[in-house]
Each structure stands twice: as structure tokens, then as C-alpha cells.
Structure 1
Amino acid sequence: MTSLVELGAHLPPQSATLAELAAPLGMSEQDVQVYTKFLGMSEVRVAGDADYGDLLVAAGRTLTALRGQEHRVRYVIAARSMQITGMGRRNPLHEAAARLGVPHAVTLTLTQRFCSGTLTAIDLAGRLLDADGDADGLAVVLAGEKCIPHTFSQLVDGVAVMGDSTAACLVAPAGDRDVVLSVATRRLARFGTLTMAPEEYKEYSRLYAPTISAVVHDALDRAGVALADVALVLPHHVNVFSWRGVCKELGLARDRVHLDLLPVTGHCFGADQLIAHVDAARKARLEQGDLYLMVATGLGGEFAAMVLRR
């Protein structure tokens, strides 16, 4: 079964408070209070002059297990929400692969899953490695993006403020730690647009928690385990309020969802679950043998869940 050899995260050292971002993003003082007190966000990490490629490299370089094993890497996969990452004459992902010492690897981007795409990318990496039949093969999955400052890419209105933190994981076709037991996805295609009319958004909001619950139970069923067996949920950092609704729908205690970093990182596209994993492991919230869930949603009605064993 697919195994995550190591996970790493890069949190840029510079932060910006929501109060500092308010004017450029067109947020009122009342908006800032809603995001802070109601949605659970206070600041985000910002990358300054670093570009998308720099952030991917910074995340990749946190993988200590990659050092000296670069020759084994067969694939580099970036899970991306935004279609455009820079000038057309450049390919930042290929540049990042070269800077990480793996220019020989097949390098590709997975899109159209938006912020849920990282779980699909991990699943794809495992499937590709398994199909190759090389027990020593590895793949690098990269997640997270660079916001275009003061634009729509930095704010999902009324939902989340985006940050520039990135993450990486080293994937093997088999292993005995952080083993992927199952993955499940769902797509509500009728919401497959970046913007929704008020009535559409109302309907999407109504279906949001039940659909997450459904995809979580689908993943649990495929793994042959129950929610009661799960030690921890590593979530997408949309906001605290939405997770309250999801926890209620699932019948899950909120302290089993690791949202510790949401107030200081914001929502980091597809990197949230990997960032949460690094933080949870550092705080000893994941012990050897624990079952845990990664859960993600994305714009366009994308939902995904993955069951793993530590």
C-alpha cells in the first residue's frame, strides 16, 4: 500500500494580520471581526518576493529523507488550484524539480480538484509507482501556492483568507508508516464554477456538511474501519465555523480535528492537511499505529477524504 515516507511544511517567516490586509482586500472593520471571532482566523503567512517555484522548493527541502535518494524519484506532482502561476515562458514546477535535484523525474501538475487536489495527487503518485513495479521508486508531491497579493486569490469572500505556506511529502509504493488505506472523492458538478448565485450558494451550504460526511464514511468503509477508530482528523483550513457544522454532522468531537494552525496560517490551498500532519506529529498527537483522516474540499464542489495508519 502507498506510504508517506516523510511530510514537510514551509511556513514563510513573515506574517500579515487580517487588519493589515483589510484595506487592500476591501474588508471592513466588521468583516475583520467576523473572520477573527467567528471564522477563527487572525493572520496569514506571506512570502514576500518569493515566487511559486521558490515556495515549492522551500517545502521540498524540508524532506530530509529525500537527501541522497534523489536518483530514486520517478515523479514530481504538484497539486494546484490556480491555473496560472507565472509568465508563460517559465515552468516553475520543472525549475523546482531541477533545484530539488530531481530533473530526471516525470514532472506534472494536477488541477481541477482545487484545494482537494493534494489527496488525489498522493493517490495518483502511489498508483503510478505501483504500476511501475519498482519497489525503490519514490514520488514527491508538492502542495500550496503563492497568492497574488490583494486579489481574489487571497480571499474567499466570507469563507477564508489564503496564505502562502506550502508543503511536501515523499511517497513510496509501500511502507510501514503513514500507510494509505483508502481514498474517496465526490464532485457536486452543478457547483462547478468559481462564483455562485445566492440561491446556488445557499444550496451548496446546505449540502456541504452532509457531503463531507458522506465522503468520509465512503473512505472509512473502503478501509474497513469506523469513525470511532480514528484518532485524529487533519482538515482543510477553511474556517472554524464550517468545521463545527461538519463535526455536528459526523457526531465527532471538535477536539479530534487538528485546527491548531488555522489562526496563524489561514487556508493554504491544498497544503493544509500536510501542514497539519507535521504540526500534529510534532505535538505527539499521532502515535504509531493510529488511524487518522485527511479531509479536503475545493471550489467547484470537490470533496475528498483519505484514511491512513500512522
Structure 2
Amino acid sequence: MMTLETLASYVPQKRLEVEREYQRLGLTQNEARVFSRMYELSHCPVEEGSEEEMLLKPCKELFQQAPHIKQEVVLLVYAHTGTISGVWGQNMASLLVRRLQLPNAVAIGTSSNNCVSIFSALSLAKHYLQNALPNSKALIVVGEIADSFELRIVPNVAVIGDAAAATLLSLNGKGPSILAHSIHNYPGYSQGIWLPTNSDAYRDFAANYQLRLQSVIQDVLRQADITMDEISYIIPHNVNILIWRRAAEFMNIPIEKIFLKNISETAHCFGADMLINLHSLKNSEELHSGDKVLLISAGVGGLFGTSLLLYS
């Protein structure tokens, strides 16, 4: 069974105040008020350096305590949302392997599942480690910079913040075990962020959002043979507070189970949300042995994903 050995995250200190600095986000004042007051997306972290340096920060933190682990890393998976990451023509995954000096690591990037790509990365890591030498580890890196208005704002849905996270995984290490994970893909939304908000497809996606979120959760619970009542915490993507309140009501989940403390400070950080939130929850010392934790995300293009962790 794959375990999540160590975890690190980085969120830039610089924050834009959405309601006050709305023009820098490409918003009207009224749009900014909706995002800030209704969706509680009041702040947006902005990275002033390069995407490469931002991604390296959580990775370096992981290796600071045990530099020798670099020899055991056989795979680096960079999960990102935008098709292009960093400089055009540059392979960010390979660049990270070189900068981190990982002599035995194969570099892979994945972005086809947008904000659910973190779960694709987990699947890639598991399959690769199953055919690797004992004690081998995989490094998953996730995050990117929203460097245009189109990336910074998902209309009527989310404000996008800059951030990065990284985690080391193995098949025989210590840490929370990954009991199950699943991705559901629904056709008809291939326009992604360019899907017109007045289209039938957009309305269909919104109308079925909660049901499909529930479906992927139930899939993972069935795989692990547990019930929702046994879940201690739900770690969401930070799309907005309103969606999660509706989800809690739709699925009859106590809102207190859903970790929502970061939404107002980090906004939605593409696929990095879950690891950032998990890192925050871990640092809060509220997790205990035996706790079961659900990581949940949805992505434009009709994608829904979740993973189930068991803390020991």
C-alpha cells in the first residue's frame, strides 16, 4: 500500500485583497464583491519570482532534513493544470529533476485532468513504484503561477492563487496510507475555462455538480469498504465556500468535517489545494492515529477526483 511519507507546501506571502485590488485581477468592482463576500475568496496569493523557483521551495524543504533520500527517488511527477508550464518549450519536470539533483529519477508531467491531476499523479506513482526496487520513492510536485487574467479568474466560480506543494511517497514507508483513489470523467465540457457561462453545457455541469461529486466519493468509500460516518476530515479544493456549503447540505455532511480555513487566505491554487490544506491540518495537530481523511477536487472539463487516506 502506498504511503505519504512527508509533505511540504509553499504559499507566497504577498496577497492581493480581492475587493480592493480587483482591477489587477481583471474583475469589475461588483464581481470582486461577489467573490470576496459571497464566496469568501477575499485574498489571492501572488508569486513575484519564477514558477521554477516557486516549485523548488517545497521540494527543497522535503530534502533538507534528509538529503540522502534523493538517491531513493526514482520518479518525479509534476502535476499541473495549465497545458503549458513555465517557459514555452521547457520541460518543467525534467528541469526540477536537474535542479534538485535527483540522479535516479525519471521525470513525468501530467495535466490532462486539470485540477484533478494530483490524483493522476498518485496513480502514476503507485504503478511506477510497484515495479521499482524496494525503498524507492516517488516525488509529486504540484502548483503553478496564474500568469494571465484567463488563468487568474474562473468566471462565476473562483479566484486563482499562486502556490506549490510537494510530497514523497513509497510502498513501505511511514505515514498515512492511501487506501483508495478514483477519477470520474464526464464528456461534453472540453471547452474548459472557455465554456460559455450561458451555454447548455455550463448549466448541465452546474446542475449535476453535487451529484457527481457525491458519486466519486461513494466510489472511493466502496473501494475501502467504509461509510461517510467513518470519515474524520474532508480536505477540499478551495473553489469557493458556497459550493462546499451546498455540497455539505446535499450529501448531509457536517460542515465542520470540511477543512475550509484556508479559502479566504489562499483562494483556489489549482491542483495544489488539497496538499496545502492537508499540510495545514497536519500542522494543526488535529489529526490522530486512525483518522480517515478524504481529499476531493473537481476540475473544468467534467472531472472529479478523490483519495482516501488513513492516518496511523
Q: What is the TM-score of this pair, normalised by structure 2?
A: 0.94
**How high is the sequence identity, in percent, across the aligned residues?**
23
Give the match for residue 169 of structure 1.
167
Cα RMSD over matched residues? 1.4
The alignment partner of 2:19 has SS state of helix
For residue 91 of structure 2, what is the aligned residue in structure 1?
Answer: 91
**Aligned twin of 1:179:** 177
Q: Write out aligned runs for 1:1-310 (5 A).
A: 1-48=1-48, 50-64=49-63, 67-132=67-132, 134-149=133-148, 151-194=149-192, 195-197=194-196, 198=198, 199-310=200-311
Unaligned runs of 5+ in 1: none
* Deviating more after overlay: 123-132 vs 260-269: 123-132
CA distance in 1, matches of 2:66, 2:207: 43
Instruction: Decide whether the 8 Å contact of 1:185 with 1:302 is kept in 2.
Output: yes
Aligned residue for 2:232, secondary structure, equals strand
1:89 is displaced (CA, Å) by 4.5
SS in 2 for 1:109: strand
Post-superposition Cα deviations, 1:114-171, rounded to whole Å, max 9, x if no partner, equal: 0011022022202210122x2210010001111114x211111111111111100001
Whether the 8 Å CA contact 1:129–1:137 is kept in 2: the answer is yes
Please give the TM-score of this superposition, normalised by the length of structure 1.
0.95
Q: Residue 8 of structure 1 contacts residue 63 of structure 1 at CA under 8 Å; is this kept in 2?
A: yes
Displacement of 1:91 in angstroms is: 2.7
- Call closer, same or farther: CA 1:66–1:110 in 2, change over 3 Å: farther
Q: Is the 8 A contact 2:71 2:103 kept in 1?
A: no
Q: Give the CA deviation at 1:265.
A: 0.5
For 1:95 and 1:20, the matched residues in 2 are separated by: 37
Deviations 1:239-258 (A, max 9, x none): 00111121112110111000
Given that 1:183 and 1:307 are in contact with CA atoms closer than 8 Å, whether structure 2 keeps it comes out as: yes
Structure 2, unpaired ranges of 5+: none
* Superimposed CA distance per residue, residues 156-197 of structure 1 (whole angstroms, 9 cap, x where no aligned partner): 111111111110000102334210000111011112222224
Q: Is the 8 A contact 1:54 1:96 kept in 2?
A: no
Q: How many residues are paired up? A: 307
Alignment check: 8 A CA contact 1:60 1:142 kept: yes
- Aligned residue for 1:214, secondary structure, equals helix
**Of 219-228 and 60-69, the range deviating more from structure 2:** 60-69
Whether contact under 8 Å (2:163, 2:269) holds in the other structure is yes
Residue deviations 1:60-79 (CA, integer Å, cap 9, x gap): 12214552210000000011
Contact 2:19 2:33 in 1 (8 A): no
Q: Which runs of 4+ in 1 moved over 6 A?
A: none
CA distance in 1, matches of 2:26, 2:160: 15
Q: Deviations over 1:60-116 (max 9, x none)?
A: 122145522100000000111111123334333322222222143100101110001
| 8 Å contact kept, 1:114–1:270 | yes
Q: Partners in 2 of 1:20 and 1:139 — Cα distance? A: 42
